[in-house]
Structure 1
């Protein structure tokens, strides 16, 4: 064997030497021709002849991905019937996708009741969940709608003659065969079939159920496909429908189940007894010695099992136990669980009923990824089918006189994340407080005879949520904020005249205003700013939200982190608390006279931002735009509603706009 290895080494060395000579000769010729920069010869060590790394004898070079064999439908059915873990992987996302319901955005309660009763009568939630389950199990499924339109199942649906929809029947891919001879295509001789939205889709489906076989037209079907595969797919059965989930997860699922199954078996081997006998080898070599040894072992083991004691000869016999360590077994099991969770997109908290391991592991990111996966299922499998079903229901409702006309609706799925009772109570309390302030503001306007009670009543009749400003007949003043940028050059105070003017990196104020006099009311020369806030203005209204700690209403703002300028802190706080990107900002100045707990805040003004204000619920909630008058009235009606620094910043803004010194 060594001779052959030496011959291989010598042959390889000779081949490398020959190749080196050829390359050196080529380099000499290129040098004479002035082509040194063209394909220079390098030896970068891609192979190692000594340890065979990178050569044909390298074991790692033999790895090759091989396609999985086709899984019969009977095997998929048996796995779903008998394998609890696999059934949970199939069922959980399907049930999660439909259990929270849908929202059509309809203002009419009668229409909402009609849709809800119709879907309940058709058992839509159960049927849709079953269709998604079969799509995940077999790769696809269909729901056949039994519609009363005067035609048979094999005929196209007559949309102008729909009278009712009687039932929904679910069939899995295993009993459904698409008619590939009736594929929709762009045939100029058959213009009726030139439907771009249904291109490459079959017009008919053959259903071969145990309860009867029939042909159904595609317009009477809701099709559920478990993903999309390329045209050159290895299994033509999956080309139209999509692959079953089992094909992609079976190895990870096998490893997880084997790891969990072999774990308890290790307990049988956790303690290994060892018996020592004098002259054991000689005894076994003698005739009948093995029987003597086995009989002795059986007697010792029998006594240990019955009497829980062992009797051995003091001379020449010994009995001992060795414990087998299980270190690393838990890590192996956890690794298999992580892999299965990764390929199924289901968190371990749901799949195995346990929280993720590791420090500071809350599982929130896992649930966020899981809910994103459920939303993909809703968009790819449910959304189009729900729209088709709703259109048919509205047609049938008009025909039966249950509704007057088809409403304009916007289909959305209800949020997957449900608030706890405490969180929901806090949100409801904040909303109730805001509505109370609105009602008190409206009452104050009525008492001042600025509006009539009938106007308030009419506004409440139009919508449950109303703004006092929308009730007023006269157009509100915009306080000069809608076009504040170009008009600020002549405003006195601490507002920088232009954005290009350099600013101090500590305070964020214009260097043209430095140094400031000691009697300037909004600048404390004895200390540097410790916080920053922004008054975000849109259409003459100021962005506000309710603080979760109950300290009142305010805009974006917070403490200045180490290494930040006030402007950087203001932009960061606006993004974290309201999810908006601030555009150009104008420094109004620095507040003083506040209690020590509020620090020394620098106030900025912004009239241009990107994004829609949305609070994440960790610091702020219930974002809204309120006018200067409303905020003023809110503070008068209920003193302390406004956050103190925010209340003083409003006064600073009013003073700056009036052309006086900020106070």
Structure 2
């Protein structure tokens, strides 16, 4: 759509004309392509400049384990002879790259991520997810020894595992991954750490352990398998380097989210795609919309002065007088001022710029950030939902389901920490001990009462129809966590054991009176039989009378 420009015309026309400026159609030139390519990171741009640089960028890395220099060169030559490098350079991806479409994304680097982590909206997105992942924490289950579970729960509190978990998932959101270092006091960190009942390092009266969160900016892989995808350690480093110290992978509990494709794992330090990097593009667009709308407010009102410009330019003092008049008009431009102009040679008019729809554009760009973060606007931004009978409860329920699924990604890490704490403090691992994440989406009391009433009513109907016994009813009620009756004993009290099933008080009136229903049915059958016999006798008597 062509833009409209307002121009100041000569006094003889005495009006404002709206003319349409012709917007030249964008042509694909070398300069335009160069401007577009300027948006691409320098490292990525250089990698595809020539076929030689493509070979240098996409050759096998020097850090690849299991191959020496000669083997890597042979594999590179085989890939080149098969046309692999030419396919990269002359592919559709290269064509789109030449057009400035930026189809290539890569890891932006930890230095950039450290700067992005300071952005307010990025922090709100990452912190909201991290807070909800660790807010309700866990509940230990699976063991009949309640004292042991209580002691283990207190040990989790003493080791500050909840705070460590929160810090680890927060770092994962910013950096794509994080590590929890298991410090047992061992000097040789290249030795593997065995987390089982045979571990000599984690057992004994002198055994101790500490857990330390390590930022991935300090960690880099050393030894990893990238040649045999049939092994379970494919693209999983066996050894890490932490600022010059070699550390076995078993001593670092790894947190990863947003797993990248297998070919990009080395680019992301064998961790995940940072959530901050995913959000950054959408946050940039939101900031651009917000800043553009703010600039529009400064131009919402334009004061147009119509005057004789020929007279102003021809008079030696004309420009000075004109500037003084414009400065005077600008200084006293408010609702309380009065501007006087020549009726015949001058006029003043105000042109208003509409801002309708700008709020919707800014709001939509902000909601898109929340959408990418999979967080409802009412949770992330505090924006109340609009519409008839809108409460936002369904959005929160879906969000809590997403949090629950995200918590399961870290179950193995938390279970490993539980095993380590058991070995250090109890000397052995109880395989029955596990945990459940406390649900975030709790029903209100009224809803819980209605749910419990419905469940008990359904179980009672099964007892009335003799589909289950009283003992089975008691066990079902005791095991249902929603009913809150788990304090009941497994066995029935003596007074209930002596009572029969039909003596139990239920909603069925027949069951409250023993076998009354069966007796009534028997009486009805006897009555029907008697009526049938009487009808036969009456028919026989009628037949005899007719014969006589």
Same fold (TM over 0.5): yes
Q: State the alpha-carbon separation in 2 of the partners of residues 474 and 356 from structure 1.
A: 58
Q: Deviations over 1:358-382 (max 9, x none)?
A: 44543233323322332232122x2
Mark the CA change 1:414 to 1:355 in structure 2 (over 3 Å): closer, same or farther.
same
Q: Deviations over 1:231-287 (max 9, x none)?
A: 222x7321621111233222211112222333333332222222222x234423655
Structure-to-structure mapping, 1:241-280, within 5 angstroms: 241-277=271-307, 279-280=308-309
Q: Deviations over 1:491-537 (max 9, x none)?
A: xxxxxxxxxxxxxxxxxxxxxxxxxxxxxxxxxxxxxxxxxxxxxxx
Q: State the alpha-carbon separation in 2 of the partners of residues 92 and 375 from structure 1.
A: 14
Structure 1's unaligned 5+ residue stretches are 1-58, 188-193, 439-449, 452-458, 477-627
Mark the CA change 1:186 to 1:465 in structure 2 (over 3 Å): closer, same or farther.
farther
Mark the CA change 1:303 to 1:151 in structure 2 (over 3 Å): closer, same or farther.
closer
How far has the Cα of 1:312 moved from its partner? 2.7
Q: State the alpha-carbon separation in 2 of the partners of residues 653 and 373 from structure 1.
A: 54
Q: Who is 2:266 aligned against?
A: 236
Q: Who is 1:553 aligned against?
A: none
- Of residues 147, 155, 168, the one that matches 2:184 is 147
Residue 206 in structure 1 maps to residue 262 in structure 2: no
Q: Deviations over 1:188-219 (max 9, x none)?
A: xxxxxx9x6545422221112xxxx5322222
Q: State the alpha-carbon separation in 2 of the partners of residues 147 and 654 from structure 1.
A: 76
- Tell me if the contact between 2:168 and 2:255 (Cα under 8 Å) persists in the aligned partners: yes
- Tell me if the contact between 2:220 and 2:269 (Cα under 8 Å) persists in the aligned partners: no
- Of residues 168, 171, 180, the one that matches 2:211 is 168
| TM value normalised by structure 2 | 0.62
The 3-state SS of whatever aligns with 1:266 is helix
Q: State the alpha-carbon separation in 2 of the partners of residues 657 and 261 from structure 1.
A: 88
Q: Who is 1:320 aligned against?
A: 349
Mark the CA change 1:398 to 1:293 in structure 2 (over 3 Å): closer, same or farther.
same
How far has the Cα of 1:143 moved from its partner? 0.4
Q: Who is 1:424 aligned against?
A: 445
Q: State the alpha-carbon separation in 1 of the partners of residues 361 and 384 from structure 2.
A: 17
Q: State the alpha-carbon separation in 2 of the partners of residues 432 and 358 from structure 1.
A: 33
Mark the CA change 1:120 to 1:294 in structure 2 (over 3 Å): closer, same or farther.
same
Mark the CA change 1:226 to 1:433 in structure 2 (over 3 Å): closer, same or farther.
closer
RMSD: 4.6
Residue 383 in structure 1 maps to residue 411 in structure 2: yes
- Of residues 469, 487, 493, the one that matches 1:464 is 487
Residue 89 in structure 1 maps to residue 118 in structure 2: no
- Of residues 68, 76, 98, the one that matches 2:113 is 76
Mark the CA change 1:287 to 1:206 in structure 2 (over 3 Å): closer, same or farther.
same
Structure-to-structure mapping, 1:366-405, within 5 angstroms: 366-380=395-409, 382-399=410-427
Q: State the alpha-carbon separation in 1 of the partners of residues 335 and 351 from structure 2.
A: 21
Q: Who is 2:482 aligned against?
A: none
Mark the CA change 1:653 to 1:349 in structure 2 (over 3 Å): closer, same or farther.
farther
Q: State the alpha-carbon separation in 2 of the partners of residues 390 and 238 from structure 1.
A: 29
**Structure 1 or 2: larger strand share?**
1
Q: Deviations over 1:573-609 (max 9, x none)?
A: xxxxxxxxxxxxxxxxxxxxxxxxxxxxxxxxxxxxx
Q: Who is 1:346 aligned against?
A: 375
Q: State the alpha-carbon separation in 2 of the partners of residues 652 and 309 from structure 1.
A: 100
Structure-to-structure mapping, 1:31-50, within 5 angstroms: none
- Tell me if the contact between 2:116 and 2:280 (Cα under 8 Å) persists in the aligned partners: no
Q: State the alpha-carbon separation in 1 of the partners of residues 523 and 301 from structure 2.
A: 88
Q: Who is 2:148 aligned against?
A: 111
Q: State the alpha-carbon separation in 1 of the partners of residues 160 and 296 from structure 2.
A: 48
The 3-state SS of whatever aligns with 1:156 is coil
The 3-state SS of whatever aligns with 2:209 is strand
The 3-state SS of whatever aligns with 1:205 is strand
Q: Who is 1:15 aligned against?
A: none
Q: State the alpha-carbon separation in 2 of the partners of residues 130 and 246 from structure 1.
A: 15
- Tell me if the contact between 1:203 and 1:218 (Cα under 8 Å) persists in the aligned partners: yes
Q: State the alpha-carbon separation in 2 of the partners of residues 92 and 657 from structure 1.
A: 69
- Tell me if the contact between 2:259 and 2:271 (Cα under 8 Å) persists in the aligned partners: yes
How far has the Cα of 1:409 moved from its partner? 2.4
Mark the CA change 1:255 to 1:356 in structure 2 (over 3 Å): closer, same or farther.
farther
Residue 365 in structure 1 maps to residue 402 in structure 2: no
- Tell me if the contact between 1:184 and 1:203 (Cα under 8 Å) persists in the aligned partners: no
Q: State the alpha-carbon separation in 2 of the partners of residues 266 and 657 from structure 1.
A: 91
How far has the Cα of 1:431 moved from its partner? 6.1
Q: Who is 1:509 aligned against?
A: none
The 3-state SS of whatever aligns with 1:131 is helix
Q: Who is 1:331 aligned against?
A: 360
The 3-state SS of whatever aligns with 1:177 is strand
- Tell me if the contact between 1:345 and 1:369 (Cα under 8 Å) persists in the aligned partners: no
Using CA pairs under 8 Å that are at least 6 residues apart, name the structure with larger relative contact order, 1 or 2.
2
- Tell me if the contact between 1:135 and 1:141 (Cα under 8 Å) persists in the aligned partners: yes
Mark the CA change 1:280 to 1:653 in structure 2 (over 3 Å): closer, same or farther.
farther
Aligned residues: 398
- Tell me if the contact between 2:397 and 2:441 (Cα under 8 Å) persists in the aligned partners: no
| TM value normalised by structure 1 | 0.52
